[in-house]
Amino acid sequence: MSGNPCPSLLFAEENQPASDTLYFERRLAGQGFSVVAGLDEAGRGPLAGPVVAACVVLPAGCDHERFQDSKKLNARQRQKRFTELHECGARIGIGECSPREIEEKNILQASLLAMKRAVKDCLAVGLPDFLLVDGTFSVPISLPQQALVKGESKSASIAAASIIAKVTRDRIMARAHVEFPCYNFIKNQGYPTREHREAIAAFGPCPLHRRTFKGVREFITDSAGKSAVPHQRRLWP
C-alpha cells in the first residue's frame, strides 16, 4: 500500500483559474485521459462507524458548477446533489472500511483502502483511466493519479465524490441510530461531540466504535478490568 505523496502534477497547479473546477479534468483530457475520476472519503474523524469513499466520473457536458465541497453544503443541499449525480449519468463507485479494519490498519491506510474499493466498484462500467485524489497520498492501485490538497474546492469530480461519500455515510449512521439509539448517531454521525462522548462514558462502546481511538479506548477493558485495546499497525506498514 502506498505511503508516499504523489509525484508532481503533469501541469502547474497554480495555473488553475480559481473559478474553473474542471481545469484538471480538461487538461487531462487534452493529454489523452478520457475517463477522469474524482476520489474523496468521509469519516476519518469520527469515533464510530466506517470510513466511506466515493469515486465519481462526471458525464461530459453536465452542469459541474453545482457540485461543491460537501462541507460547504447543508444536509438538504447534499441530498439534492446526491440525487442529481445519480440522475445525470455520473459513474459512481462506493467503498468502505469497517471499524474493525480501521483498528487493524489505522485510519489513513483504511481511508486509502476504501478509496481503492470505490475505484474497483466502478468495474461494472469500466475503470477510470486517471484519478484525482483529495489529499496528499496516492491510492494503492495501478492507475495514473494525482493528489490535490483541498481537492474538493479545485475539482468538480472530487467535490462530487465528497457529496456521495458524505451522504452515503450519513445514511449508514442513521441506520445505526435505530440499533444503538443511546449514542444519537443520527445527529452526530459518530463524531466526538460532547453528547456522544458522555454516552460512551455512560453506556460503554458499541460494536460500531473504533476501539483504538482516543475517547473510546479508555473504556475498552477485559473481564479483569485491564485495557483490551486491539493492536494497530504503525502509520506505514
Q: What is the pLDDT of residues 36-80, one digit of tens each?
A: 999 999 999 999 999 999 999 999 888 877 788 788 889 999 999
Domain membership of residue 10 (yes or no) is no
Q: Where are the beta strands (DSSP E) in the chain?
A: 36-42, 51-57, 91-97, 130-134, 145-148
Q: How far apart are CA 165 and CA 220, in angstroms?
A: 29
Range of the structural domain that residue 193 is part of: 177-219
Indicate whether 96 and 187 sit together in one domain: no
- 2 vs 119 pLDDT, higher one: 119
In a domain, 46, yes or no: yes
Instruction: Report the domain count for the chain.
Output: 2
Residues 140 and 192 in one domain: no
Cell 445514511, residue? 171
Neighbours of 127 (CB within 10 A): 17
Same-domain status, 187 and 169: no
Q: Are residues 114 and 152 in the same domain?
A: yes
CA distance 109 to 43: 13
Assigned domain for 209 exists: yes
Q: What was the pLDDT predicted at 15? A: 64
Give the tens place of pLDDT for each residue, 95-142: 999 999 999 999 999 999 999 999 999 877 778 999 999 999 999 999
152 and 212 co-located in one domain = no
- Do 105 and 187 lie in a common domain? no
% of the chain exceeding 90 in pLDDT: 73
Q: Are residues 64 and 50 in the same domain?
A: yes
234 part of a folded domain: no
Instruction: Say if residue 72 is in the same domain as residue 145.
Output: yes
- pTM of the predicted structure, to 2 decimals: 0.88
